[in-house]
Structure 1
Amino acid sequence: MAGKRGFGSIRRLPSKRYQARYMGPDGNRHQATVTFTNKADAEGWLARERELVERGLWASPWEREQAVAASPCGGDGPLAGGPVTVSLFISGWLPSVELRPTTRRDYESLLRNHIEPQLGEVVLQELSKLHVRTWWEALDPTKPRARSKAFQFLHTALNGAVELDLLPSNPAALPRRTRIRTKTARRIEPLSVVELEALADKMPAHLRLSVLIGGWCGLRYGELAELRRRDMDAEDGTIRVQRAVIKVPGGFEVGAPKTDAG
């Protein structure tokens, strides 16, 4: 029988094992590539899938498994059968996740600068909560935002390892007293109306309007840079934000202003 849930469903098979499935963002039904010995494990898998959807990191379970299998850390890769390190797993898992170019660039930077130096050579199956706790405490506390992003990325990547049955549970869990809290490093003082107009007046003529629109409408720079005449309706007093430009290695890329999750 299948049980009703807020996200996905779980049914017990004749083999007494549990199968979890859900309707994905692509409109198709997806199920775990493995079945579970108990219902709690199936519920945990659905919870992790829902988290991926909500954070805009989702790809189908089959696609993620195929990507990891084809990567250097699994399947037919050159290290198949050998020990899979944290660095190798994340490097192989990352291409399987659908990400915006800027997010992918940020994740690659976090892996290279914050995760690999201390955890990269740890064998994935040997990674423990103690490893993660020691790594967390060694991160620079004067950079809380980078610290927070590094932890959240590691947690998400290790969820991928759990989904692929490479880990029984996610070791990136910290006690309540060490949970990540970030605050604005400095108070932002918005420009006054007079200051905004003065700044606009100091700009070259072709950039004056962009300063006013950015100040009054709160557009991001990438959204502002991609505005076209057809996006503005002077009669209705509206602006349609339909595109954004982002800097990527080797140039720029134009895409949607935000993901569905955002």
Structure 2
Amino acid sequence: MARKRKARRNFGRVRKLPSGRYQARYPGPDGILRPADRTFASTTDADLWLAKKRIEIEGGRWLDPAEGQIIVRDWAARWLASVAPQLKHNTQASYRSLINSRINSALGDRELSSLRPITVAEWIADMKTKGLSSSRIRQAYRVLSQLMASAVDNGLISQTPCRGIRLPRMPQTEPHILTPLEASRIVRNASAPNDLLIALLAFAGLRVGEAFALRRMDVDLPGGLLIVDENLAEANGMLVFDTPKSHQRRVLTLAPSLVKRLGAYLDALPGGDDALLFTNRFGRPLRYNQWRKAHFNPAVSGAGLTDVTPHDLRASHGTWVADRYGVMTAAHRLGHSNASVTTRHYARPVAGRDAEVATASDAWLEGHDRADGARSGHDDDEDGSADAPVHV
């Protein structure tokens, strides 16, 4: 026993406090003597703790307790500054808003090392009690999870408190999938040049910000092509031109009738190659809420439709393309680097397809390729159904 105590004393020190409990101190790799984060009921307990600490140091797993004393507010600022250059402007603004309003307000003065999974769970429960949406809560948690994971990577804490957390479920919302004919009605009921802009959303699958950011140089009339390499986003009231959401430039082939209409529009468009295709009446970039209220919503009403958003046109385009030409083609048209995003958020089953499959299955059961009258993968419908080509 004396030898064990001597071995322990060679690494650390144990002393009895006036309270009767024992304090353990140990030298870190830098030689500085540090106290344990708690006291012990016996020298045996203190010896066991010192032995574990010695193993941590010798195994290179030791963390300086002082690092974990950094408060969440300071680490969040440092983390955001380090990742900001890689983020899009609106993402930066979103992260900053979530850190200031949700993370710092509740956890900002806490030390990193003091956070536990129960702390995070209570924080989420408090946001839910205050009526925050599931989406906002999940966004805030995602940011906290990232900055805590970075604290682990940088040796400030041994493990993240963001583990085993149950997040509120997102409500299942489905996009309003239109038929091509319904989309065409919206185009026809829009004032110029908003009809052309809406046609690009529906029949080229552009994001609204991508359509707002189009310039004369992005249109290749001889080739019938549209180059999508820029996006207009609004962050904290400021308009910012940035790369598309996926950071990927893509080239889309347009319908000949759409190319013809673009050509006529460009002939009358003032400005050089850098001129925006679509602006407000003052020649400034469009703002989403103003444009939707003034031009898009009236066109939807004029088409006899309700509950349609500009994003529904993009989702509809993805559905039409995926149904007829496959998910990979739809992913390219929409600018998705991963086709799973297309199927999860955009492409939806077209009405009536399940019945067609049942009819075809009956023929397959009898040993035929397909039932008479069943649709082949690329036959043009003659009844103006959802798969019939629509010219705008």
What pairs up with 1:145-164 in 2 under 5 angstroms? 145-164=135-154
> Which whole-Å CA distance do the structure 2 matches of 1:110 and 1:199 have between them?
37
Pick one of 103, 110, 126 that aligns with 1:122.
110
Determine if contact 1:200/1:209 at 8 Å carries over to the other structure.
yes
> Which whole-Å CA distance do the structure 2 matches of 1:82 and 1:170 have between them?
12
* 3-state DSSP of counterpart to 2:228: coil
Deviation at 1:181, TM superposition (A): 4.3
* Number of residues of Structure 1 aligned to a counterpart in Structure 2: 185
For structure 2, list consecutive stretches of 5 or more residues without a partner in the other structure: 1-56, 249-336, 338-392
| 1:84 lines up with 2:70 in the alignment | yes
- In structure 2, what is the equivalent of residue 132 of structure 1? 120
CA deviation digits over 1:136-163, x for unaligned, max 9? Answer: 2222276221121111111101111112
Deviation at 1:180, TM superposition (A): 5.9
- In structure 1, what is the equivalent of residue 195 of structure 2? 208
Q: Which moved more, 1:134-143 or 1:240-249?
A: 134-143
Deviation at 1:182, TM superposition (A): 2.9
Deviation at 1:106, TM superposition (A): 0.7
Cα RMSD (Å):
3.0
- In structure 2, what is the equivalent of residue 199 of structure 1? 186
What residue identity is the alignment partner of 2:71?
Answer: T
Deviation at 1:38, TM superposition (A): 5.4
TM-score for the superposition, normalised by structure 1: 0.61
- In structure 2, what is the equivalent of residue 93 of structure 1? 79
Determine if contact 1:133/1:174 at 8 Å carries over to the other structure.
no
Deviation at 1:81, TM superposition (A): 9.4
* 3-state DSSP of counterpart to 2:244: coil
What pairs up with 1:25-174 in 2 under 5 angstroms? 84-97=70-83, 98-140=86-128, 143-174=133-164
> Which whole-Å CA distance do the structure 1 matches of 2:247 and 2:201 have between them?
23
> Which whole-Å CA distance do the structure 2 matches of 1:260 and 1:91 have between them?
25
For structure 1, list consecutive stretches of 5 or more residues without a partner in the other structure: 1-35, 42-79
Would you identify which runs of 4 or more consecutive aligned residues in structure 1 move more than 6 Å? none
- CA gap 1:133/1:250 in 2 versus in 1, 3 angstroms: closer
* 3-state DSSP of counterpart to 1:167: coil
Deviation at 1:248, TM superposition (A): 3.3
* 3-state DSSP of counterpart to 1:139: helix
Pick one of 205, 215, 238 that aligns with 1:228.
215
Q: Identity of paired residues, percent? A: 24
Q: Which moved more, 1:153-162 or 1:247-256?
A: 247-256
